[in-house]
Amino acid sequence: MYNTDKPTREELPSSAQLRRSTIIAAISAAVLLVTIVLPSEYGIDPTRVGRVLGLTDMGKIKTQLAAEAAADAALDASSGNAAAGQKAVLARLERIETLLGGGAALAATPSAPAATAKPAAAVAAAPQPVAPAPSAPASAPRPAPVAQKGTGRSDEMTFQLAPNQGIEVKLVMKEGARAQFSWASKGGPVNFDTHGDSKGKSISYEKGRGVDADEGMLEAAFDGNHGWFWRNRNSAAVTVTLRTNGDYAEIRRVL
């Protein structure tokens, strides 16, 4: 159906020409590998051509990002089972604390009528004097210290991170609770991730790389643990100091 011109034997490449073309292609591929691919992908530049073209720095950045991603993945995998166990323990502790808090409230409630019953008896025993009447309001406000539960708390913690070490600190908070924070690293910048987690829930508030300090207000999106993860990517140890102040039940280091 189609008419095609078949090449003659003289037009076909000889074996020597094929070998030469193969050798030239292999040499070209090797040159591209050494001068372009290795510097731009892995930061390896034996010929210094990649540095001149600006490819070596790009390769080093890619290598560092890949190493950090692998380290974070390994950390997540290693801490996955531990995190599940910690969440179960935290859930049991929260239930125990809730029960204890309810028992304390029940124990404190009957004491108020006992305090107010005495002025009533005094008034019944001596109705004529008007002076004892002010003493009843004076004793009644004493149960008011219960309101001090909402005043919050303040903490300061300091950690030393070895090279490539990561730590995690969490605040136990209720939904809508707010905590003011500030942290700073001494000895070099760090990578950080401000996030929260609970049963089946997680949220990332803020992330940063190569940061010396940060401050602000952390508002819990749900009941659970909310805080920070830091990693030291420097060649020397750094010291991180965290200061918190606000409405949270507990602060703990979980990693």
Mean pLDDT of 99-117: 44
Backbone φ/ψ region at 14: left (φ over 0), alpha (ψ -120 to 50), beta: beta
Using pLDDT thresholds of 50, 70 and 90, give the confidence band for residue 60.
Answer: confident
Q: Which domains does the chain have, with CATH numbers?
A: 11-83 (no CATH), 110-143 (no CATH), 153-253 (2.60.120.380)
Say how far apart CA 71 and CA 119 lie, in whole Å: 68
**Assigned token pair, 177:** 């609770």
Tens-place pLDDT, residues 225-234: 999 999 999 9
Pairing of strands 190-198, 224-231: antiparallel
Query: Residue 64: pLDDT above 90?
Result: no
Q: What is the pLDDT of residue 50?
A: 81
Say how far apart CA 255 and CA 253 lie, in whole Å: 6
Using pLDDT thresholds of 50, 70 and 90, give the confidence band for residue 108.
Answer: very low
Q: What is the pLDDT of residue 6?
A: 75
Query: Percentage of the chain surpassing pLDDT 70?
Result: 66
Mean pLDDT of 107-121: 41
Q: What is the pLDDT of residue 180?
A: 96
3-state secondary structure at position 125: helix
- The Cα-based distances of 168 to 23, 54, 79, 94, 247 in angstroms read 56, 37, 11, 20, 19
Q: How far is CA 121 from the centre of its chain?
A: 59
Q: What is the pLDDT of residue 215?
A: 96
User: Mapped to the 3 state alphabet, what secondary structure does 77-124 carry?
Assistant: HHHHHHHHHHHHHHHHHHHHHHHHHHHHHHHHCCHHHHHHHHHHHHHH
Say how far apart CA 224 and CA 94 lie, in whole Å: 10
Using pLDDT thresholds of 50, 70 and 90, give the confidence band for residue 249.
Answer: very high
Residues, the chain, total?
255
Mean pLDDT of 230-241: 96
C-beta neighbour count of 35 within 10 angstroms = 19
Q: What is the pLDDT of residue 142?
A: 42
Q: What is the pLDDT of residue 125?
A: 43
Least confidently predicted of 118-122, 130-134, 233-237: 118-122
Say how far apart CA 103 and CA 117 lie, in whole Å: 23
Element (H, E) at 200: none
Q: What is the pLDDT of residue 121?
A: 36
Tens-place pLDDT, residues 138-184: 444 443 333 334 458 999 999 999 999 999 999 999 999 999 999 99
Radius of gyration of the chain (CA): 35
